[in-house]
Chain A
Amino acid sequence: DTGVSQDPRHKITKRGQNVTFRCDPISEHNRLYWYRQTLGQGPEFLTYFQNEAQLEKSRLLSDRFSAERPKGSFSTLEIQRTEQGDSAMYLCASSQRTGRHDYGYTFGSGTRLTVV
């Protein structure tokens, strides 16, 4: 499978615990994005990387959230001290940027986080 892979598919955690999600993008893609989606809403931007550099973080991303993309390949998104409001689908997408253009995202299946 050469698509975007996310692991795990589902995560149930107790409030206050830390969780980490992984995303493996399409190997030829140099950009990787994290979005969050809640019921009835469209995907909300969290952060993105070009290669290993994190270029932008949303104001939605509190200090409890951190993302990394070591070596410009896979990425991890960690949420510390989870809260019930963190319950959502966390989406990863990758794309290829050439010059000024970004040619559209390929999304993974997402990680559904439930904080109880």
Chain B
Amino acid sequence: AQSVSQHNHHVILSEAASLELGCNYSYGGTVNLFWYVQYPGQHLQLLLKYFSGDPLVKGIKGFEAEFIKSKFSFNLRKPSVQWSDTAEYFCAVNADLSGGYQKVTFGTGTKLQVIP
């Protein structure tokens, strides 16, 4: 079964600091990987996704993530955070099982608080 671990539950940064949120998944086969973001009072939105090809993927709002297959990781990064990045971030995995890609499994989320 696929599972996702997000080790940072709550991160507090000052504006302009760099961000890296950890994500590890547990499935040895082919996977699709996602980061979703939930801003306060809003619904979940797709930030970026990895399907294949270049392991460094770029998403909206200056976010990027790197897929490292050997480490089963898909960490999210941003060089300089803004107060508007305050939100909860969810890593998610979708495994290519015998019948193709099925459901997405989410991590428990990381709450990011950016202090002006």
Contacts and interface: CB of A to CB of B under 8 A. Distances in A.
B20 interface: no
Interface residues of B, number: 26
Given A107-B45, A109-B43, A102 B106 contact: no
Given A91-B44, A104-B46, A108-B43, A48 B103 contact: yes
Contacts of B116: none
Contact of B105 (A45, A93, A103): A45
A109 B108 CA distance: 18
Nearest to A33: B103
In this complex, which of B42, B90, B103 has the most chain A Cβ atoms within 10 angstroms of its Cβ? B103
Interface string B88-112: 0010101010001111111111000
Contacts of B92: 42
B25 interface: no
Interface residues of A, number: 26
B108 A100 contact: no
Contacts of B36: 107
A103 B45 CA distance: 13
Nearest to A100: B100
Contact of A40 (B51, B96, B102, B108): B108
A100 B103 contact: no
A114 to B, nearest CB: 17
Interface in B1-52: 4, 6, 32, 34, 36, 42-46, 49, 51
Give me the 3 closest cross-chain CB pairs, A-B, nearest first.
A42-B106, A100-B100, A107-B44
Interface of B: 4, 6, 32, 34, 36, 42-46, 49, 51, 90, 92, 94, 96, 100-109
22 contacts: A40-B108, A40-B109, A42-B4, A43-B44, A43-B106, A91-B43, A91-B44, A93-B44, A100-B101, A101-B100, A101-B101, A102-B32, A102-B101, A102-B102, A104-B34, A104-B46, A105-B104, A106-B46, A108-B43, A109-B42, A109-B43, A110-B43
